[in-house]
Amino acid sequence: MPGKVLMVQGTASSVGKSVLVAAFCRIFRQDGYKVAPFKAQNMALNSFVTREGGEIGRAQAVQAEAAGIEPSVDMNPVLLKPEADAKSQVIVSGKVMKTLRADKYYEYTPRLLKIIEDSLKRLRRDYDIVVIEGAGSPAEVNLKRTEIVNMRIARLAKAPVLLVGDIDRGGVFAFIVGTLALLNPQERKLVKGLVINKFRGDISLLKSGLDFLEQKTGKPVLGVVPYFRDIVIAQEDSVYLDERIAKKGGGLNIAVIRLPHISNYDDFDPLEAAGCRLSYITKPEDLTDADLIILPGTKSTMADLAFLRRQQLDKAIIRQAKKGTPVIGICGGYQMMGKIISDPSKVESSDNITPGLGLLDINTEFVPEKKTTQVKAKVAADSGLLAGLKGTKVTGYEIHMGQTAGKKNPVLRVIKTPQGIGSYFDGAVNKNGRVFGSYLHGLFHNAEFMQGLVNNLQKMCGISTATPELFSREEQYDRLADLVRQNLDMKKVYEILRSE
The Cα–Cα gap between 40 and 21 comes to 14
Residue 193 near residue 218, CB atoms below 8 Å = no
End-to-end CA distance of the chain: 13
For residue 282, the 8-state DSSP code is: -
Residue 78 near residue 45, CB atoms below 8 Å = no
pLDDT digits (tens, 9 = 90+) for 464-494: 766 666 778 899 999 999 999 999 999 999 9
Helix 207-217 and helix 172-181, axial crossing angle in degrees, nearest 10: 10
* Strand ranges, E, within 335-447: 340-342, 353-355, 363-379, 393-405, 412-416, 424-426, 428-429, 435-438
pLDDT of residue 424: 92
The distance of Cα 46 from the centroid of its chain, to the nearest Å, equals: 4
Give the HSE-up count for residue 456: Cα atoms under 13 Å, Cβ half-sphere. 21
Residue 477 near residue 65, CB atoms below 8 Å = yes
Name the average pLDDT for the chain. Answer: 93
Is the pLDDT at 106 greater than 90, yes or no?
A: no
Annotation says 400 is catalytic:
no
Give the 3-state secondary structure of residue 161: strand
Give the 3-state secondary structure of residue 366: strand
pLDDT digits (tens, 9 = 90+) for 54-64: 999 999 999 99
| Structural domains in the chain, sorted by start | 4-232+476-499 (3.40.50.300), 239-470 (3.40.50.880)
Provide the sign of the torsion angle of the four alpha carbons 216, 496, 166, 141, taken in this order: negative
Burial of 148 (0-12, 13-18, 19+ CB in 10 A): buried
pLDDT of residue 86: 78
Among 8-12, 16-20, 58-62, 463-467, the minimum mean pLDDT is found in 463-467
pLDDT of residue 465: 64
pLDDT band at 281 (very low <50, low <70, confident <90, very high): very high
pLDDT band at 274 (very low <50, low <70, confident <90, very high): confident
Across the strands, what pairs with 130? Answer: 5, 36
pLDDT of residue 241: 66
Burial of 127 (0-12, 13-18, 19+ CB in 10 A): buried
Is the pLDDT at 123 greater than 60, yes or no?
A: yes
The Cα–Cα gap between 37 and 65 comes to 10
Q: Tell me the longest C-alpha to C-alpha distance in the chain.
A: 69
The Cα–Cα gap between 217 and 172 comes to 13
Residue 488 near residue 225, CB atoms below 8 Å = yes
Is the pLDDT at 131 greater than 60, yes or no?
A: yes
Annotation says 331 is catalytic:
yes
pLDDT digits (tens, 9 = 90+) for 210-246: 999 999 999 999 999 999 988 888 876 665 666 555 5
Catalytic residue among 25, 261, 331, 400: 331
Mean pLDDT (whole number) for 427-431: 96
Across the strands, what pairs with 95? Answer: 92
pLDDT digits (tens, 9 = 90+) for 321-379: 999 999 999 999 999 999 999 999 888 877 788 999 999 999 999 998 999 999 999 99
Residue 3: CB atoms within 10 A of its CB come to 17
**Whole-model pTM over 0.75:** yes
Among 17-26, 29-38, 79-88, the minimum mean pLDDT is found in 79-88
